[in-house]
């Protein structure tokens, strides 16, 4: 019979499908630490640990790979990311709890596969293990509870480790955040909500905060991989202070203003940023997919005739629409109008708090248009590069 953790009954409905909740690396670490502490102080074998998550969901998690030695116990809990596309799903999170020479107090640190912080801007100080505040508090609270249960008043040492952590971390944001050697122990609620937009936006904000802490006043931002490849291969732009914003243009502009960023240069494929020319600040297709309609409107303003407009409206991709505009001899004019509209809506969102600009490109035609502030921001970015390398 399959073990019931208590997470099975929790799910969200997305596009008509049930997506299961999961639990975080922080919850796994807290459960493993609780079980290890209980085995160390009681001498008994613990097969399951009950954890009350900050979200209010009670979990009962299986304890695996128990190793009991004089003065220390190690065990693990297997991560379950639910139906979230989580690179840590299925891995073991270990906790070792050991007696110390200290007369009292509980220490917590990271071992193999838990990252170390090397840059300012995170919740932890440089040199500390990447164990975020909420899971850190969860771990310590659970072990303190066990100490009270067994009337233990001397010292304990907790080490959280993830044997697969260093390899998995290469597929996370950690290298860009300056976290080396492994993954982070995460989770503000203790629970993984599938495909959480809040989590994605929080990760964007965290990366921007770190860039600001490192001295960035001007950022180069791309929605995704296309923009980064174009920036690297087609343009001589310093990308020391660069990042991705995914579909969250509006939130990115808001948080930049909040963090004191002075300017952003976006480098974006026409397929994403044509939506911004209509005031759309979340470019995911489920929110808005009016690329052809917007291009047709800009083409009409540029003087395109009815047949060209119809062909654009019938196009399947923006790359196809670009070729229609090129054949009609109005690509340049249409892109200039599109750039003007993009600048208008970015200025409207920021209310003048930060300077923005965008370079729009096509995979086939290359650089299509620049908004009005591109040259000025390129100069600021170059000056920032020189000052950073002094």
Q: Do 219 and 182 belong together in one domain?
A: no
Looking at the structure, tell me whether residues 138 and 235 fall in a common domain: no
Kindly state whether residue 4 falls inside one of the protein's structural domains: no
Q: What is the mean pLDDT of the chain?
A: 92
Percent of the chain topping pLDDT 70: 99
Cα→Cα distances 20→5, 7, 12, 81, 187, Å = 13, 8, 7, 8, 17
The domain boundary, picked from 192, 225, 241, lies at 192
Structural domain contains residue 5: no
Angle at 145 between CA 94 and CA 117, to 5 degrees: 45
pLDDT of residue 2: 67
Q: What is the pLDDT of residues 309-333, one digit of tens each?
A: 999 999 888 999 999 999 999 999 9
pLDDT beyond 90 at 196: no
**Confidence tier at 91 by pLDDT (50, 70, 90):** very high
Question: Looking up tokens 């994403």, which residue turns up?
Answer: 272
Q: Is the pLDDT of residue 1 over 70?
A: no
pLDDT for 32-78, tens place per residue?
999 999 999 999 999 999 999 999 999 999 999 999 999 999 999 99
Query: C-alpha 70: how far from its chain's center?
Result: 41
Residue 108's contacts (CB-CB under 8 Å, 6 or more residues apart) are 129, 131, 136, 139, 140, 158, 160
- Whether 173 and 246 map to the same domain: the answer is no
Distance CA 212, CA 203 (A): 14
Rounded to whole angstroms, the Cα distance separating 375 from 377 reads 6
pTM exceeds cut of 0.85: no
Domain assignment of residue 322, given as a range: 197-388
Q: Do both 210 and 253 map to the same domain?
A: yes
Q: Which tokens sit at 349?
A: 């969102």
Please report whether residue 114 resides in a domain. Answer: yes
**For residue 44, what is the domain's CATH number?**
3.30.2110.10
Whether residue 336 is predicted with pLDDT greater than 70 in this model: the reply is: yes
Rounded Cα gap, residues 12 and 349, in angstroms: 31
How far apart CA 55 and CA 53 sit, in angstroms, is 5
Quick one: 233 exposed, middle or buried, by C-beta within 10 A (0-12, 13-18, 19+)? Answer: exposed
Residue 31 lies in a domain: yes
**Residues 185, 40 within the same domain:** yes
Does the residue 6 lie in any domain?
no
Cβ pair 61, 69 in contact under 8 A: no
Give the end of a domain, one of 192, 209, 229.
192
> Quick one: 156 and 211 in the same domain?
no
Burial class (CB in 10 A: 0-12, 13-18, 19+), 225: exposed
Q: Are 26 and 141 in a shared domain?
A: yes
User: Is 204 contained in some domain?
Assistant: yes
Q: Are residues 143 and 234 in the same domain?
A: no
Ramachandran class of 187: left when φ > 0, alpha when ψ lies in -120 to 50, beta otherwise: left
Tell me: do 153 and 247 sit in the same domain. no
* Together in a domain, 102 and 60: yes
Which of residues 142, 171, 192 is at a domain's end? 192
Domain identity same for 300 and 157: no
Residue at 2 is within a domain: no
Q: Mind spelling out the 3-state secondary structure of 36-69?
A: HHHHHHHCCCCCEEEEECCCCCEEEEECEEEEEE
The count of structural domains within the chain is: 2
Determine, yes or no, domain membership for 281.
yes
Residue 195, pLDDT above cutoff 80? no
210 in the same domain as 95: no
Give the pLDDT score at 121.
73
Token pair, residue 43, equals 């001498």
Element (H, E) at 390: none
């Amino acid at each position: 019979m399959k073990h019931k953790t208590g997470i099975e009954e929790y799910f969200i409905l997305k596009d008509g499908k049930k997506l299961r909740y999961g639990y975080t690396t922080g919850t796994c670490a807290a459960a493993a630490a609780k079980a290890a502490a209980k085995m160390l102080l009681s001498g008994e074998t613990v097969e399951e640990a009950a954890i009350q998550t900050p979200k209010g969901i009670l979990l009962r998690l299986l304890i695996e790979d128990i190793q009991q030695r004089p003065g220390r116990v190690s065990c693990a809990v297997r991560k379950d990311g639910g139906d979230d596309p989580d690179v840590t799903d299925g891995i073991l999170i270990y906790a070792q709890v050991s007696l110390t020479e200290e007369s009292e107090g509980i220490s917590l640190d990271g071992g193999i596969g838990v990252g170390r912080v090397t840059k300012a801007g995170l919740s932890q100080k440089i040199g500390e293990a990447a164990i975020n505040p909420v899971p850190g508090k969860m771990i310590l609270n659970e072990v303190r509870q066990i100490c009270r249960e067994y009337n233990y008043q001397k010292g304990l040492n907790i080490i959280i480790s993830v044997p697969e952590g260093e390899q998995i971390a290469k597929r996370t944001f950690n290298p860009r955040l300056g976290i080396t050697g492994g993954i982070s122990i995460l989770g503000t609620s203790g629970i993984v909500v599938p495909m959480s937009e809040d989590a994605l936006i929080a990760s964007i904000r965290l990366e921007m905060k770190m860039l600001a802490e490192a001295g960035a006043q001007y950022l180069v931002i791309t929605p995704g991989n296309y923009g980064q490849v174009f920036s690297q291969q087609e343009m001589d732009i310093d990308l020391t202070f660069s990042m991705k914003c995914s579909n969250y243009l509006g939130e990115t502009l808001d948080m930049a203003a909040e963090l004191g960023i002075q300017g952003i240069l976006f480098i974006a494929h026409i397929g994403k940023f044509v939506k911004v020319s209509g005031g759309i600040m979340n470019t995911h297709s489920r929110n808005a997919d009016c690329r052809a309609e917007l291009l047709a409107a800009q083409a009409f303003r540029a003087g395109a005739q009815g047949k060209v407009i119809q062909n654009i409206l019938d196009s399947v991709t923006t790359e196809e629409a670009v070729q229609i505009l090129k054949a009609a001899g109005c690509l340049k004019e249409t892109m200039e109008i599109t750039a003007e509209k993009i600048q208008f809506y970015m200025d409207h969102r920021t209310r003048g708090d930060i300077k923005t600009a965008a370079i729009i490109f096509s995979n086939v035609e290359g650089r299509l248009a620049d908004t009005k502030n591109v040259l000025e921001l390129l100069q600021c970015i170059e000056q920032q590069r020189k000052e950073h390398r002094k």
